[in-house]
Amino acid sequence: MREQAVGLASDILGRVLTAQVAQGIHQHLIDELIEEIGKSDGPRPELDADKVEVVVPFPLTQTQQERLSTIFSSRMGRPVSIHETIDAEIVAGMVVRLDNVVLDGSLKTKVKGMLAYVRENLSR
């Protein structure tokens, strides 16, 4: 039931938001997540990957790709490449996969968090 609610809420957002508004939210969420990744603590050489999988609803800009590549290369102490997959279902933001680490800054996940908040407050 919960997954259906999240899927429905994400679908509604995708249908209600104009492409321009969705892209604006997307850019904000992307920049926010890149900034957070950049602030993370020091090198992580234990992550043994040479590529970073990024799922986004709209293509990353060249600048965003370069920032991600620079940050992850610095953290891992070696060059890494960014592999981008387009998935409109996440509506805005991005999901980053590096080995077994997943950083989910998608609007779909933010909606999931809000549903938990709503459920908690309705039960009071």
3-state secondary structure of 85: strand
Cα separation, 58 vs 94, whole angstroms: 9
Instruction: Assess whether pLDDT exceeds 80 at residue 111.
Output: no
56, with CB counted inside 10 A (0-12, 13-18, 19+), is buried
Find the mean pLDDT for residues 44-73.
87
* Tens of pLDDT, residues 113-124: 777 777 777 776
CATH of 2-122, one of 3.30.2320, 1.20.1070, 3.30.70, 3.40.1000: 3.30.2320
Instruction: Assess whether pLDDT exceeds 90 at residue 29.
Output: no
> What are the residue ranges spanned by the domains of the chain?
2-122
Instruction: Assess whether pLDDT exceeds 80 at residue 61.
Output: yes
